[in-house]
Amino acid sequence: MIKTRLCDLLNIQYPIIQGGMAWVATAELAAAVSNAGGLGIIGAGNAPADVIRKEINKVRSLTDKPYGVNIMLLSPFVEEIMDLVYEEKVPVITTGAGNPGKYIPKLKEQGIKVIPVVPSVALAKKMEQIGADAVIAEGTEAGGHIGELTTMVLVPQVSDAVKIPVIAAGGIADGRGLMSALSLGAQGVQLGTIFVCSEECTVHENYKRAIVKAGDRGTVVTGRSTGHPVRIIKNKLYKEFDKLEKSGASVEEIEKLGTGRLRMACVDGDVDMGSVMAGQISGLIKDIKPVKEIINTIIAECDSIIDGLNNIVRGEKLD
Ligand code: TUI
C-alpha cells in the first residue's frame, strides 16, 4: 500500500493527482480519477466562470470524493474563476503558468487548499512562505506550457528546499515513475498525458490516438521565442511554428498562430493543425484504458518494484 503525507492532506487513497489540462480535464475525467482513489481536477484553462461552474456541479453529481480546480493564471478570466472557487468552496486548487501569490491569503482564508505548479526552487520557497499547502514540481518533460528544468533535477532540489509536500510532474505514467518520484523526495505525482489516454477522457479520439502513435521522440516545443514554450505532438502546426519562428516573426504573430489550436485538437479532432499538448512520456503509452485500471496498474507496479528491491537488499537477483 502506497500512502504518503499527501494522501492525508488531500484525503485521498493514492498519492496521485490529475493534471488540470484545459479542454481535456472535464468533470467526467476528474470524477473518474477521484472515484479511483486519486484527486481529479477540472481544468479551467481560458474558460469563463459560468462554464466552470457547470463542471463543478457535474463533478459533485458524479462523485462524493474530494476534487480540485486548476486555475491557469494567464487566463483573461482569472478573477472570476477565483470568485467562483471561493463561492463554491472548491476543496483544492492547483495553479499553472504563473505566480499565484496575491490570491493565496484569500484562498487560505476560505479554507481552500492551494497547490501551485513551480518550475524552480525559488518559486517553491516563496509559495511555502506565503502559505501554499503543497507544490507541484513540474519538469520540462510535461505537456503544454513548460519550464526549463527536468523532473529528475527539479524534484530533489525542491524537496530539499521546502517542508510542505512536493508532487512530482512531467514524464511520469507508470509505477516506475511513481516510485522514482518518491525516491527523489516527492510525496506524490501529478499525471497528465496518461489520463488523456483514458476511456473517461472526453477529448476527440484522434487526440488520444496521436499520443498512442507518438513514440519516444514524438513531441516538440513550440513558442520558445515568445517566452511561453509549449510541448505538443509533432505535426503540421509545429512545422508552421518552426517556419514562423525562424523567419524572425514578432511575438504577436507567433502567438496568433497558436490561438484556438487546443480547441481544434480536443474538440474537432484536427491533430494536424491543432495543438496536441502531450508530454514526452507519450512514447510509453500504448492503449486507451479506464481510469480505474490505469491507477490500479500503477499501484500494483509499485508493489512489485518494492518486492524486487527487497530481493536486491537480501542479495537475491532482480529479474
Ligand atoms: O500551466 C501549465 N501547463 C499549461 S498552461 C496551458 S495554456 C497556455 N497556452 C499557451 C501558452 C501558455 C499557456 C497549457 N499548458 N503547467 C504548469 C506550469 N506552470 N508550467 C510552467 C509553469 C509556471 C511558469 C512560470 C509556473 C510559474 C511560473 O512563475 C513565473 C513567475 O512569475 O514567477
- Smallest CA separation from ligand 1 atom 17, residue: 96
Same domain, 196 and 214: no
Write the pLDDT tens digit of every residue in 47-91: 999 999 999 999 999 999 999 999 999 999 999 999 999 999 999
How far is the centre of ligand 1, averaged over its atoms, from the C-alpha of 100 (Å)?
Answer: 11
The grid coordinates of residue 274 equal 491543432
Pair 123, 221 in one domain: no
Helix then strand then coil, in percent of the chain rounded to 5, is 45, 15, 40
Instruction: Provide the pLDDT confidence category of residue 171 given band limits of 50, 70 and 90.
Output: very high
Among 182, 202, 222, where does a domain finish? 202
Whether residue 227 is contained in a domain is answered as: yes
In this predicted structure, the answer to whether residue 319 has a pLDDT above a threshold of 80 is: no
Is the CB of 20 within 6 Å of ligand 1? no
What rounded mean pLDDT belongs to the chain? Answer: 96
* Separation CA 114–CA 134 (nearest Å): 7
Q: For a pocket test of ligand 1, which of 117, 130, 158 has the largest count of ligand atoms closer than 8 A to its C-beta?
A: 117
Whether residues 169 and 79 share a domain: the answer is yes
User: For residue 304, how far is its CA from the centre of ligand 1 (angstroms)?
Assistant: 35
If asked whether residues 119 and 236 sit together in one domain, one would say no
Taking CA atoms only, the protein residue closest to ligand 1 atom 28 is: 98
Q: Is residue 239 part of a domain?
A: yes
Per residue in 256-269, pLDDT (tens digit) is 999 999 999 999 99
Looking at the structure, do residues 256 and 152 belong to the same domain, yes or no?
A: no
Question: Is residue 10 included in any domain, yes or no?
Answer: yes
Sequence-distant (≥ 6) Cβ neighbours of residue 22 within 8 angstroms: 43, 44, 45, 46, 47, 72, 144, 262
Atom of ligand 1 nearest to the CA of 143: 15
Q: Are residues 45 and 177 in the same domain?
A: yes
Cβ-count burial 206-223 (b if 16+ within 10 Å, e if not)? bbbebbeebeeebbeebb
pLDDT of residue 236: 97
55 grid coordinates: 463542471
Residue 266 Cβ inside 6 Å of ligand 1? The answer reads no
pLDDT surpasses 80 at 317:
no
Q: Is 170 in the pocket of ligand 1 (CB under 6 A)?
A: no
Residue 41 sits in a domain of what CATH number?
3.20.20.70
Question: Does residue 19's CB lie within 6 angstroms of at least one atom of ligand 1?
Answer: no
* 237 in the same domain as 131: no
pLDDT tens, position by position, 188-245: 999 999 999 999 999 999 999 999 999 999 999 999 989 999 999 999 999 999 999 8
In a domain, 111, yes or no: yes
Residue (of 228, 66, 40) closest to 147 by Cα position: 228
Q: Which helix (H) or strand (E) holds 106?
A: helix 104-109
Q: 98 CB less than 6 Å from ligand 1? A: yes
131 vs 38: CA distance, rounded Å: 23
Q: Which residue has its alpha carbon closest to ligand 1 atom 24?
A: 97
Q: Are residues 183 and 107 in the same domain?
A: yes
Which ligand 1 atom is the nearest neighbour of the CA of 46?
7
Q: Residues 121, 266: one domain? A: no
Quote the ligand 1 centre to 145 CA distance (angstroms): 5
65: left (phi over 0), alpha (psi -120 to 50) or beta: beta
pLDDT at 30: 98
Q: Domain for residue 9, yes or no?
A: yes
* Residue 289 burial (CB count, 10 A): 17
* Residues 189 and 235 placed together within one structural domain of the fold: no
Domain boundary among the residues 162, 180, 202 is at: 202
Q: Is the dihedral of CA 168, 173, 177, 179 positive or negative?
A: positive
Do 182 and 90 share a structural domain? yes
| Closest C-alpha residue for ligand 1 atom 9 | 145
Does residue 316 lie within any of the structural domains?
no
**Ligand 1 centroid distance, CA of 303 (Å):** 33
Q: What are the counts of helices (DSSP H) followed by strands (DSSP E) for the chain?
A: 14, 11
Query: Of 177, 202, 227, which one is at a domain's C-terminal end?
Result: 202
Based on the fold, state whether residues 122 and 238 are members of the same structural domain. no
Residue 250 confidence (pLDDT): 93
Backbone angles phi, psi at 273, to 5 degrees: -110, 0
- DSSP collapsed to 3 states, 236-251: HHHHHHHHHHHCCCCH
CB 266 within 8 A of CB 21: no
Hey, what amino acid is at 307?
A: D
Of 34, 55, 35, nearest in space to 44 by CA: 55
3-state secondary structure of 253: helix
DSSP H helical segments within 118-186, as ranges?
121-129, 151-161, 175-183
For ligand 1, is residue 146 a contact (CB within 6 Å)? yes
Q: In the predicted model, what is the mean pLDDT of residues 103-130?
A: 97
Please tell me if the CB atom of residue 135 comes closer than 6 angstroms to any atom of ligand 1.
no
Cell of 303: 508493489
Q: Which atom of ligand 1 is nearest to the CA of 70?
A: 1
pLDDT for residue 316 is more than 80: no
**Domain count across the chain:** 2
Q: Does residue 216 sit within a domain?
A: yes
Owning domain of residue 34: 5-202
| 152 occurs within a structural domain | yes
| pLDDT value of residue 318 | 63
